[in-house]
Structure 1
Amino acid sequence: MAFVESLLPLDFKSLVYVAVALVVLSHVIPYLTDPHAIRAYPGPFLARFTDLWLGRVVALGHRSEVVHEMHAKHGKFVRIAPNHLSIADPDALQIVYAHGNGSLKSNFYDAFVSIQRGLFNTRSRSEHARKRKIVSHIFSQKSVLEFEPHVREYVTQLFRHWDRMCEDGAKGLKGDDGEGGWRGKEGRVWFDCLPWYNYLAFDIIGDLAFGSPFGMLQTCKDAAAVAVSHNDAMAAYGGEGKLEVEYLPAVEVINNRGTYSASMGVLAPWMRPIAKKFPWFSKGDKAVKALAGIAIAAVAQRLQTPTDRRDLLGKLQDGKDDEGKPMGREELTAEALTELIAGSDTTSNSSCAITYYLALNPQAQANLQKELDDALGNEDDPVTSFQSTKTLPYLEAVINESLRLHSTSGIGLPRLVPEGGLTVCGKTFPEGTVLSVPTYTIHRDKSVWGEDVDAFRPERWFEQDKNDIQRTFNPFSFGPRSCVGRNLASMELLIIIASIFRRYEFVLEHPNQSLETMEGFLRKPVECHVGMKRRAQ
């Protein structure tokens, strides 16, 4: 009380000085006392004292590239925040994210909670084990194969559009803005393929997760129903009242939400309420609520119209934990939201990146098409089956090489060192230190991948040491918190890429054009302009 009273006579300017001094000391003292034993490690000057350096990097949308540059400059260990060390070494991957090492997700994941904690953002080991037990069987290889006919159905819908575009494009015609403004020239149709991959991925996950597509392929438009009132939507679960929705661009909402949450997550918890007051963060907060509204609306609509179809939501409803308890209403919706994000963004971004790299490298595209023709030449169905594609080595190499260069999750996922400390690459770190291994950087480790790490070359997957690849390739994360939907993602990519490149040929609109990306939590292409034509059958 005496301290507070001593401040009262001070004028406003003095109070500002005191506040600034307290903020500075709160950042300098931890640096001097070094509770995480990482002061000796190099990194950006500001990152030694504040989370704001990393926060700004994330907000600008190129975290993976910037951290990669820091490792190129400083070496294996780089300090990227006062308590956070990035370790660019494949061996660290097996330790930081290993089963049984006791590490937990950091408070970075708190920024991704909207409805309630789900499998992705829960930080409790026991709660994660409970959720994973309920969810994991849904994504087993056997279970995933039940979804194959639905994946093929939407690829077929995409082909109806693209076949007509190719036919009209060969005549020099143009499409309207509702179809992305494509145009015909030189016997090809020229267009941005990214929106189409978004439409495809969203309709697939809408069907698989909620029993019906979002209808993006039908309307050629990025739009999804969003619950206007979360409370009313929750009431609609039990048939009480009418579900009121509005339509918003789902892809834009997911992009804004990812950037917002990733930026907010790297800030200290005490800074987050302050950051939310700024206009940029305010926009992102609206995206978080809108995305939750998409999941709430989709789940409510699905449960209002019961079906015997075995979609993901139905299987989630049937799942039970060790005590025989099913998921509650909000928990069910939170997991459906996770499936929506993980099953849409990753598939569309990866499909777009694969198309880009094959259009950039005509010989690799020709090699893939020869393998597809040789293996599938007798099949009449334009959409290939998983059974037909799962053993094609060059197709697998093309997908893996694309995911190496464009892993949708390229950042180092942060983990807290557990009680007793953790030794990584010969260095021991105390409890509470945040460690991460950047996927983007280890995917460009020359000691593993060769001197031409920036080149797209599927052949390297037949040349490199398989043990080195196994310990370094990390598109789905590693350990107990790895991507539970890996089997579904792999099945979708095999069917989509094999079917598309068996049917069409692609070139880039501008030779040697780069694949521009933006990164929030996931790394996404901004656009991908290509020329496409039907292959001779």
Structure 2
Amino acid sequence: MGIVAAITDFPTVDRIFWTAFAICAAPVLYRIIYNQYFHPLSRFPGPWYAKSFSVYGALVSVYEREQEFLSSVVKKYGTDLPIRISPTSLFFPGPSALKDIYWNPSLNHKTKLYGTGALGPPHLFSTIDGEAHKQLRRALSNAPWTIGQLKNRWESRFDTLITLFIDKMNEHASANRTICISDKVAHFAADVMSMISFGEPFGCVANQRDEKQILENWRKGLPFFGFVARCRFFRDEVMRIGFLASWFLPTFDSKQGMGWLMAEADRQVTQREKRNAEEKFKGMPDFMQHCVEARYQDNTPLNPVQKRAHVTLLIQAGADTTATALGSILRFLVATPSSLARLSDDIAQADKAGLLSTPIKYEETRQHLPYMVAVIKEGLRLNPPAPNLFGRVVPAGGKVIDGIFIPGGTEVTTHAYTMQRDTGLYGEDAEVFKPERWLVNDETTLEYEASQFTFGMGPRVCLGKDIAIMEMYKLLPEIVRRFDIQLEAKGTFVVSGGVAYNKGFLGKFIARKSET
């Protein structure tokens, strides 16, 4: 009675405040208690705040701290059990879970992270259903993104672009100009992807700028993509309300960025289809031609939206990510003089022996520059360009993953940046840039390669993987062959929305004197 009397003695405003507080606090408290002790995933370790609210992971992404957060939970909870990083998500930190998650056909259903609409119209990357993805990928199976087609049909086009890139860098070197190296290689990557997609590069290398600000606008959209993909309530509830979704989704300017890219795809696909109707296509098919000609098993073509969405897919998914790989590898080399010296010597020796063309061919790097290959693999290990939470949904009835039963409906994932620093596999120096680790013996190399998640794996492996590898195997050794690099600012490796890019990597290219 005393407590009741005390409460009723409160002024009316205070009673209203405490009542409102109790009404608001009760569901929050219930959510915490349920997720901690009664949820089907309650037995798995993880920070209580991440286990209770998906918004925590969303904010971690917005503040560009996802890799640090995941590294910290691995350090705290270890690798024996998957770690719960949201109310419905388990993170497997060790490489032993890769095969069970990404090669199992029953786990080929993506999480809703992919279906937010933040990446524009739906395409292969954002197709959630496994069977639908299988049929769509089969329809596009002849597209020019495999290493065989790239070598046979496109390498000479790569060579032309590399020659132009080297000429432009020589101009900067002659002027003793400080440049943003990470931006320059990004221009090259954007031109490669636009060349394969549309037949001709956009001119980023020729004009030494981010044409139509495609890269800049892509990066600006990453924080929103990261938030909406990770905050379950926002993703599943708010984004389902039509007028709210349209209000939150990014608007596109038809004069620049992704808006211009989609408008350009529409324009060029329309023109290409009109020309194809008038006469049979002549010349080397680009990706746009493959999209126009693509057919499902029942011989039906892609619909108009699919055609246009897929023409831009390689540029969206591959331009800035490949640029990140190129920039990161160069920065690792410049910051590790012993590695750069060894690589420079290897290239000089192969050059002197007449083993290298100008520009260097893909097969020449693969066969005659093993240390260059090791440098690339090590750079990708430490700085994967898209260390996203590529989750899969466990089917009804549950599944055993890495020896542990996981309930149905759980979102399971791994993380390339964290997993590829596993000290159990790479040793106590796992954080160190050490290309030599890839040259110890064939058995070790195979074990490392089986544990790489840089490009994903399984039936949804990265579409542009071979294009990116072709770029790295050709451009990077040519840069080291032609220039010394004077570092002025290392810059930073930024991860936003699960996608990485380099910012502020500054230096000067110093042309090497010819020995002839």
Q: What TM-score, normalized by structure 1, do the two folds share?
A: 0.82
Change (3 A) 1:199 1:16: farther
Q: Does residue 47 of structure 1 match 2:50?
A: yes
Shift of 1:469: 0.8
Describe the superposition over 1:267-304 as per-residue Cα deviations: whole angstroms up to 9, x where unpaired.
11455665899x9x978723699755233222234232
Change (3 A) 1:20 1:219: same
Where do residues 66-465 of structure 1 align in structure 2 (5 Å cutoff)? 66-76=69-79, 77-112=82-117, 114-138=119-143, 139-145=145-151, 146-169=153-176, 183=177, 190-224=178-212, 249-270=213-234, 274=238, 285-286=250-251, 292-303=258-269, 304=271, 306=275, 308=282, 309-377=284-352, 378=354, 382-391=358-367, 392-463=369-440, 465=444
Q: Does residue 486 of structure 1 match 2:474?
A: no
Which residue does 1:242 correspond to in 2? none
Change (3 A) 1:93 1:528: same
Secondary structure of 1:39 counterpart: coil
Root-mean-square deviation over aligned CA pairs = 2.9
Change (3 A) 1:376 1:283: farther
Change (3 A) 1:472 1:288: farther
Shift of 1:129: 0.6
Counterpart-to-counterpart distance in 2, 1:32 and 1:446: 30
Change (3 A) 1:97 1:439: same
Shift of 1:12: 9.2
Shift of 1:217: 2.0
From 432, 439, 448, give the equivalent of 1:469: 448
Describe the superposition over 1:81-114 as per-residue Cα deviations: whole angstroms up to 9, x where unpaired.
0111111111111111123233411111112555
1:285 aligned partner, one-letter code: P
Secondary structure of 2:312 counterpart: helix
Counterpart-to-counterpart distance in 2, 1:23 and 1:440: 35
Counterpart-to-counterpart distance in 2, 1:362 and 1:283: 47
Which residue does 1:497 correspond to in 2? 476
Overall identity of the aligned pairs, in %: 22
From 1, 16, 35, give the equivalent of 1:31: 35
Describe the superposition over 1:331-386 as per-residue Cα deviations: whole angstroms up to 9, x where unpaired.
01111222111220121111100110110112211221222222234378642122
1:161 aligned partner, one-letter code: K
Shift of 1:39: 1.2
Which residue does 2:506 correspond to in 1? 529
Secondary structure of 2:510 counterpart: strand
Counterpart-to-counterpart distance in 2, 1:475 and 1:113: 22
2:28 aligned partner, one-letter code: V
Counterpart-to-counterpart distance in 1, 2:504 and 2:94: 31
CA contact (8 A) 1:444 1:454 kept: yes
| Structure with more helix by fraction | 2
Shift of 1:120: 0.6
Change (3 A) 1:29 1:368: same
Counterpart-to-counterpart distance in 1, 2:125 and 2:228: 17
CA contact (8 A) 2:46 2:73 kept: yes
CA contact (8 A) 2:93 2:414 kept: yes
CA contact (8 A) 2:397 2:408 kept: yes
Secondary structure of 1:105 counterpart: coil
| Residue range with higher mean Cα deviation, 40-49 or 291-300 | 291-300
1:219 aligned partner, one-letter code: N
Counterpart-to-counterpart distance in 2, 1:129 and 1:69: 36
Shift of 1:222: 1.7
Counterpart-to-counterpart distance in 2, 1:85 and 1:53: 15
Change (3 A) 1:485 1:93: same
Change (3 A) 1:129 1:27: same
Secondary structure of 1:121 counterpart: coil
2:457 aligned partner, one-letter code: F
Shift of 1:191: 2.3
Counterpart-to-counterpart distance in 2, 1:411 and 1:64: 9
Where in structure 1 are there 5+ consecutive unaligned residues?
1-10, 170-182, 184-189, 225-248
Counterpart-to-counterpart distance in 2, 1:38 and 1:459: 41
Describe the superposition over 1:183-203 as per-residue Cα deviations: whole angstroms up to 9, x where unpaired.
3xxxxxx32211111211111
Where in structure 2 are there 5+ consecutive unaligned residues?
1-14, 276-280
1:462 aligned partner, one-letter code: L
Describe the superposition over 1:443-472 as per-residue Cα deviations: whole angstroms up to 9, x where unpaired.
111121121111111100012623421331
Change (3 A) 1:352 1:130: same
Shift of 1:75: 1.3
2:390 aligned partner, one-letter code: L
Shift of 1:312: 1.0
Change (3 A) 1:17 1:457: same
Counterpart-to-counterpart distance in 2, 1:421 and 1:52: 26
Counterpart-to-counterpart distance in 1, 2:38 and 2:157: 54
Pairs aligned (count): 480
2:155 aligned partner, one-letter code: E
Secondary structure of 2:421 counterpart: coil
Counterpart-to-counterpart distance in 1, 2:228 and 2:50: 16
Counterpart-to-counterpart distance in 2, 1:196 and 1:367: 24
CA contact (8 A) 2:60 2:69 kept: yes
CA contact (8 A) 1:86 1:436 kept: yes
1:294 aligned partner, one-letter code: W
Which residue does 1:172 correspond to in 2? none
Counterpart-to-counterpart distance in 2, 1:321 and 1:439: 33
Counterpart-to-counterpart distance in 1, 2:32 and 2:328: 43
Counterpart-to-counterpart distance in 2, 1:523 and 1:26: 37
1:343 aligned partner, one-letter code: G
Secondary structure of 2:384 counterpart: coil
1:86 aligned partner, one-letter code: F
1:366 aligned partner, one-letter code: A
